[in-house]
Amino acid sequence: MSIPTLNRREWLQSLFYGPAALFSLEAFSAKRCDALAAIGPNDNIKVTRIETFVLTNSWVFVKISTDAGVTGWGEMLKDDAKACAAGALEVSDYLVGKDPRRVAFHWQAIHRGAFYRGGPIKTAISSGIDQALWDITGKCYGVPVHKLLGGPTRDRCRVYGTVSEKTGVNAMKVGPRGSRVPFKYVEGPKMVEEVTERFAALRAKFGKEVDIGIDFHGAVQPPTASLLIKALEPYHPFFFEEVVQALNVDVMAELAKKTHIPLATGERIFTKWGFREILEKRAALILQPDVCYAGGITELKIIAGMAEAYYSPIAPHNPQGPCSLAASLQLAASIPNFLIQERGDNEHPDLLAKPLPPVTGGHRPLLTDPGLGITIDEDKLKAQVGEPKPYRAAYDTDDGSVVDW
């Protein structure tokens, strides 16, 4: 077949849809062109549109469209959902008309183009857009993102979530529950013993074969955290997570020095600059950056490199949807120091057109489809668009004062 006047994209389209396709490019649906996958590396491609979707469960999705019909998806922070969705649309002025494949360049431009930088909302906006741009880039080249980042660095990714014989998942996480959450600045022996007894019962139930992390959720005050850490140590938690709020890293670092069990944190830390302080002060060993608001795949790859220099592993935070999980798994498959994926056994059938490769032996197989490696079902997603959850406040049951949750 002679194709001297056709570029690779046009030639592929002609193979799939016949010569008429060459004269009706705009008529192709995004879904059909995504299925077409690779365009030539030298073909031009431009961003044409950014759209955002806020779901009733507060998950926020961003979709980036291109003039090649290839689309990319990403996710953002679920707090301040409407602000994140609106903020991502403001990036249109910069991004529309540009080549989406200059992902690291765009990260720099979006981050440094803002006079007021960082923080959860700004970084969530750049995170969601970054995921979508990586998704597009992988689809353009016909490879999963981890291959663009030098991977795969492993054959499969260990996950934690629901312990199960069927999936082989043998790692889980719990909170410090007793008859209530230990909110008080200094909890007495009754509360400390309740939390310890519950954890001890779990250890007895699951034995030594199951790794059990415990997440204080930043809701525990430093003196109580110190008491609980000491009491729980004999039952060998996998890690202590967010033992206190991460706003004063020195306090967390003091607690880290008092225990031989690894501390974990990161879901409320943003960008490489936030994680620099955690690493330098040894405030936590296990880093849990969130790909939806620590800066996207581009930034998490850098954070992982910084962590590697401190012998720190990465366990990506993931309380959200399929883009969050897929982007985290693409990162996991491209770094050497991945530990385990939070909620890596979630399947998201209510948002995906194609099931994820099933978890077996406690591990999720690599996502090998181009881009993030998932196919969002836009009809299913749009059916869930609506008002996000309202702000949540928690109160002490004894005196009604506001507490962390």
Interface residues with Mg ion (CB under 5 A) are: 215
Give the residue among 255, 266, 209, 265 at the shortest CA–CA distance from 232.
Answer: 255
161 Cβ contact partners less than 8 Å away, ≥ 6 residues apart: 169, 171, 172, 342, 343, 344, 345, 346
* 69 HSE (CA, 13 A, CB side): 20
- Looking only at the bridges linking them, the beta strands covering 156-160 and 341-342 are parallel
Q: 270 near 123, Cβ under 8 Å?
A: yes
3 Cβ contact partners less than 8 Å away, ≥ 6 residues apart: 11
Q: Where are the beta strands (DSSP E) in 107-242?
A: 156-160, 171-174, 211-215, 240-241
Of all residues in this chain, which one has the CB nearest to Mg ion in the complex? 215
- Cα distance between residue 168 and residue 109, in whole Å: 43
* 168 HSE (CA, 13 A, CB side): 10
Instruction: Verify whether residue 363 is a known catalytic residue.
Output: no
| Residue 211 vs 215, nearer CB to Mg ion | 215
- Cα distance between residue 50 and residue 280, in whole Å: 38
| Residue 154 vs 268, nearer CB to Mg ion | 268
Q: How many CB atoms lie within 10 A of CB 260?
A: 6
Shortest distance in whole angstroms from residue 36 CB to Mg ion: 40
3-state SS, residue 55? strand
| Residue 10 vs 215, nearer CB to Mg ion | 215
Shortest distance in whole angstroms from residue 241 CB to Mg ion: 5
The single residue of 106, 111, 146, 317 carrying the catalytic annotation is: 317
Shortest distance in whole angstroms from residue 7 CB to Mg ion: 48
Number of helices (H), then strands (E), belonging to the chain: the values are 14, 13
Q: How many CB atoms lie within 10 A of CB 189?
A: 10
Shortest distance in whole angstroms from residue 265 CB to Mg ion: 8
The single residue of 217, 236, 260, 363 carrying the catalytic annotation is: 217
Instruction: Verify whether residue 260 is a known catalytic residue.
Output: no
Peptide bond into 152 cis (omega under 30): yes
Q: Which amino acid is at 191?
A: M
Q: 40 near 70, Cβ under 8 Å?
A: no
Shortest distance in whole angstroms from residue 215 CB to Mg ion: 4
Shortest distance in whole angstroms from residue 218 CB to Mg ion: 8
Give the residue among 89, 27, 35 at the shortest CA–CA distance from 64.
Answer: 89
| Residue 34 vs 215, nearer CB to Mg ion | 215
Shortest distance in whole angstroms from residue 268 CB to Mg ion: 9
Catalytic residue annotation: 217, 317
